[in-house]
Structure 1
Amino acid sequence: MAATKKNPIILYDIPNANGASWSPNPYRTRLSLNYKGLPYRIEYVAYPDIEPKMKALGVAPVSNTFPYYTLPVIADPSSHPDGKPTYVADSFEIAVYLDDKYPTPTYPAIFAPGTRSLQHILTTQYYPATVSNIRLTIMPRMLHLFDARSVEYLKRTRGHMLEPYPDDVISQKWTEAEEKFSSLSKSAELNDGTMDAGPFITGHTVSFIDFALGGLIHWVKSIEGEDSYYLKKIFEWQGGRWKRHWEGIQKIENMSSQVN
């Protein structure tokens, strides 16, 4: 049975102190659901509650090391009236599941035929290397997003990742980040001037790596603010390519299939 507005997919996400989205990986899944037009509702789970909540639902750990449980997770309604939903963790695995369960031509595909392995390489190997310097410098600045309980939990479990860098190190890391994005842009430019030209990595057709990049921008914007120095910096790189990319992502965000 396909998800419906009355019985939608549940997306488990991490809230900020105001109960709003900020986290990059659940944002990938939000975009996946929007793009496919699948009805979903969001259930927010604060950092300290993720592991006990997922254990209570019977969701398997996603890692053998801490953190054992991470979000996003989705609950897809069962095809049987009294059956348990199907739980899927990890944004990439969720996208694969959604394409399999809700295939073309009824629903648009996140992965073009034959590209899952390539998208996996891009997302798990190329993407982390491209964005690592941004993540390292922005992560120590994110505690203001959360309530006191989540701040205490993060300091206790991830304190080593929250130590700020000296200004000169931050400057160097952003220089290196721009170089990485410049390399990515040169590859994306191969579509420019062709019939496939568009704002995304593969031109006018969005793919999962675009959702990953959109998640990064969403994260920086949530932490630093819409008019922040760092967000403007990214949007200025490579002649505004990433601003145009974000505008394309926002069109998918704005065609939301979320239900209340």
Structure 2
Amino acid sequence: MITLYDIPSALPEMAWSLNTWRARYCLNYKHLPYKTEWIEYPDIEPHCKRLGIAPTSTRKDGTPYYSLPAIYDSTTDKYIADSLKIAEYLDEMYPDTPKVFPEGTEMLQHAFLYAYNPLFDPIVKFIIPATATRLNPVSEEYFTRTRTKRFGKPLKDVTPTGEEKEVEWKEFLEALDTLDGWFSKNKETKFITGNAPVWVDFVVGGELLWLKTIFRPDSDFWMELKEVNGGRWEKYLEDLQEWAVVI
């Protein structure tokens, strides 16, 4: 049995995080038995330290930074943190399950990520303040406090308004146009490398699911987003729906 450590929300579906969705997609795609343990934001660092889960990065001040997702695999008695490391671990330890890094795609998938990651930068100022409002009170306080420090101003003032909103939104739509151009090269397949998803499909899917979950499916934001690029992004999530299950 694998335990997936995830961050809860106050929403009915609970799961929301783009990073933890990457790991969840992988577990569901591989049909590996697992359960979810929900960890609120202020409990992540003490939880990881208590279990010996390694930090995933280092803060600017040199202190270790702990984040989710993380998993515990009772078969190997191992803890793994970071969605990419989790995906690589699951491919290695369970080779008879569908691979998210099929042979020969590792370099191309990493190159895709390098080009892809900056595309969603324009949406950050919209989605981060909105995310805070969807969390449980104890996590909302922590998230708001830490992100306020990161942005250098109250989180409520981060959301673009007026001309800035128009500029940032236009840049985001242009980024989606770029991504749409890449996807358009595959005229006969559902996913990035073919008709079976790979790791980077779960990266893109997790990001889109984050936006849809936080802004809500009936919001003006998502209603507009689902129509751009010929409805590609709503259809993309539909194609991934089989593995968008919370266990």
TM-score (normalizing by structure 1): 0.85
Supply the AA of the counterpart residue of 1:113. E
User: Which residue is equivalent to 1:71?
Assistant: 68
Percent identical? 39
For residues 108 and 40 of structure 1, the distance between their equivalents in structure 2, rounded to whole angstroms, comes to: 16
1:106-145 alignment runs, 5 A limit: 106-123=96-113, 125-145=114-134
- Is 1:190 equivalent to 2:219 in the alignment? no
User: Which residue is equivalent to 2:173?
Assistant: 178
Supply the AA of the counterpart residue of 1:128. N
For residues 203 and 182 of structure 1, the distance between their equivalents in structure 2, rounded to whole angstroms, comes to: 20
Change (3 A) 1:140 1:167: farther
Map Cα deviations across residues 197-244 of structure 1 (whole Å, 9 max, x no partner).
222222422111111111112211221111112222222121111111
Secondary structure in structure 1 of the residue aligned to 2:244: helix
Q: CA deviation at 1:18?
A: 5.1
Q: CA deviation at 1:63?
A: 0.8
Structure 2 gap segments, 5+ residues each = none
For residues 244 and 198 of structure 1, the distance between their equivalents in structure 2, rounded to whole angstroms, comes to: 12
Could you list the structure 1 runs, at least 4 aligned residues long, displaced by more than 4 angstroms after superposition. none
Q: Aligned Cα RMSD in Å?
A: 1.8
Supply the AA of the counterpart residue of 2:4. L
Secondary structure in structure 1 of the residue aligned to 2:190: coil
For residues 130 and 33 of structure 1, the distance between their equivalents in structure 2, rounded to whole angstroms, comes to: 26
2:92 to 95, 100, 105: 100
Map Cα deviations across residues 63-111 of structure 1 (whole Å, 9 max, x no partner).
11167001000111134xxxxx2111111111111001011xx211111
1:47 to 29, 41, 54: 41
User: Which residue is equivalent to 2:54?
Assistant: 60
1:199–1:241 CA contact under 8 A, matched in 2: no
For residues 26 and 76 of structure 1, the distance between their equivalents in structure 2, rounded to whole angstroms, comes to: 16
User: Which residue is equivalent to 2:28?
Assistant: 34
Secondary structure in structure 2 of the residue aligned to 1:88: strand
Change (3 A) 1:219 1:167: farther
For residues 24 and 121 of structure 2, the distance between their equivalents in structure 1, rounded to whole angstroms, comes to: 22
1:10–1:74 CA contact under 8 A, matched in 2: yes
2:159 to 157, 164, 181: 164
For residues 120 and 67 of structure 1, the distance between their equivalents in structure 2, rounded to whole angstroms, comes to: 25
2:20–2:83 CA contact under 8 A, matched in 1: yes
TM-score (normalizing by structure 2): 0.89
User: Which residue is equivalent to 1:227?
Assistant: 218
Point out the more displaced range, 163-172 or 203-212.
163-172
Change (3 A) 1:210 1:30: same
2:56–2:82 CA contact under 8 A, matched in 1: yes
1:203-242 alignment runs, 5 A limit: 203-242=194-233
For residues 246 and 71 of structure 1, the distance between their equivalents in structure 2, rounded to whole angstroms, comes to: 22
Supply the AA of the counterpart residue of 1:68. Y
For residues 181 and 112 of structure 1, the distance between their equivalents in structure 2, rounded to whole angstroms, comes to: 26
1:11–1:41 CA contact under 8 A, matched in 2: yes
1:188–1:203 CA contact under 8 A, matched in 2: no
Secondary structure in structure 2 of the residue aligned to 1:87: strand
- Is 1:10 equivalent to 2:19 in the alignment? no
For residues 239 and 27 of structure 2, the distance between their equivalents in structure 1, rounded to whole angstroms, comes to: 16
